[in-house]
Structure 1
Amino acid sequence: MQDFGEFAARERDGWANEGLVSAYVDKFVPVTDSIARVLVERSSPRDKSILDLCCGQGTLTAMLCDAGAKVTGLDFSNEILARAALNAPEADLRQGDAGSLPFDDGAFDQVVCNFGMMHLPDQQKALSEVQRVLRPDGRFLMATWAAPDVSPAFGTVFGAIRGNADFSKAPAQPDLFIFAKPEGAREMMKVSGLRVVSHEIVPAFWELSEPGELFEIFLTATVAASQLIKGQEPEVIGAIQEQITDNVRENFGDEGGFRVPVPVAIVEAAL
């Protein structure tokens, strides 16, 4: 496997930063919580034992608890787990590594992961751990961002970055969108002993008041994209910002604000 050690170190350091965590909660969570509600509906959680993998600020964790599940939440960031403790006081929250889960084989009826897989340096190892801790009739539900070719939001941002940035300033990292396409999800799951049951793209939107907000979201509330942008020369950063802002202004105006589609792939797998 390619060495993603620097990527992993940057993720750990980034999610220990209170400012980044606050920006993520402010900018991303309105979107990710809309998808969390879909995951809860599809999981039929009542009376089930569920692991919320990469639980983040714990809003999905809390939804699952409210729906009658016995929930364990795990994340590598103590900074964000402190927020999860406030949002989901009924859950059993653990600090730990998704690639080495501190649970017995077959410990859970379900594992859910809401936008966590792209932050992991070894996604295949994490999936193998998911397979290990699931009961024989268990299910795995995950959400991930749709790829730039079908996502206006990510297409806008990554198009501007690709057109202007020097990628040698970023460390090697796993494929952010490997689960966004059915064939990629099937292959990743198969290697780890899981079988894709369904793969669906569902709609979601960023509701913005200013066209420059999309650039600010990726500059302040992400780790990898933010560090890549900030590592560029000032004129390159300006060009990226201008291209993203102009695209939002020209294409996504909506009743005095801006509504940018950011579709999501929801993947369900079983043993």
Structure 2
Amino acid sequence: MSGGIFPEKKHVLENLFNVRKPIIGMVHLKPLPGAPHYKGESMDEIIEFALEDVRRMEEGGVDGLQIENAWDLPFPKPEDFSFETVAAMTAVGVEIRKASKLPLGVNCLANAVVPAIAIAKACDAKWVRSNQWVNAYVANEGIVEGASAKAMRYKSNLFGDDIKVMADVHVKHGSHSIVADRSLAEQTRDNEFFDADILIATGNRTGNETSLDELIGIKESASLPVIIGSGMTTDNAKKILSIADGAIVGSFLKENGNWWERVDTERVKQFMDQVNSLR
């Protein structure tokens, strides 16, 4: 597919990162105030943990960073996303922006795109990720509806044209049964029509390899850049980056390949060496 209704977005990914096939490293935040697994740690401790992961990923050579409240399990629905979580993620984001020149994005779980835009505006982040931008899904949190209409109006009210939207075409951790009568091509076009900037093909859960068939299906129907959102490793980087325009990577960059462990600088370097050889 060429052109599309927003042709000016064709190069938005390269404009964000100034590199082909950018790799965005995940900064999985420790439990934040208000979350079930938060045990009273100071914000200084939470921020320092995040900054150490940032230092390791930056040393390893990633092209961008994305903060996410990954430890706030179980995740609330968007309308229940709390004020204290917004405050804590903003505090972390501000410190990361001071410590690193890498472009920064925000993902608020689950699918709390309006709070993510607020955080992005406050800490000068360049994008937000939406796990459900259009249509509706049965997710772990229940029925989760597309965020686009409210999010785009909120972004406009904040004069947030510089904040881009990375939108999953299929949500992780959920059933696609509600949209089973809509083809992958139609869902790809739905996301484009509702003004996303970058599309994401992803696996069924965190760390799962993204289906090559799904990636190809989205790419063939898209006029926007398409990146993958999970499961990229040194073993599959060549086949994935022969199709995808970039990737969000978390689990593989961590010790033992587990998203909940510390970033492993040597794994990041090994991974980025592989990516650089494919650019």
TM-score (norm 2): 0.29
Higher RCO by CA contacts (8 Å cutoff, separation 6 or greater): 1
- Flag the structure with larger Rg: 1
Higher helix proportion: 1
Higher strand proportion: 1
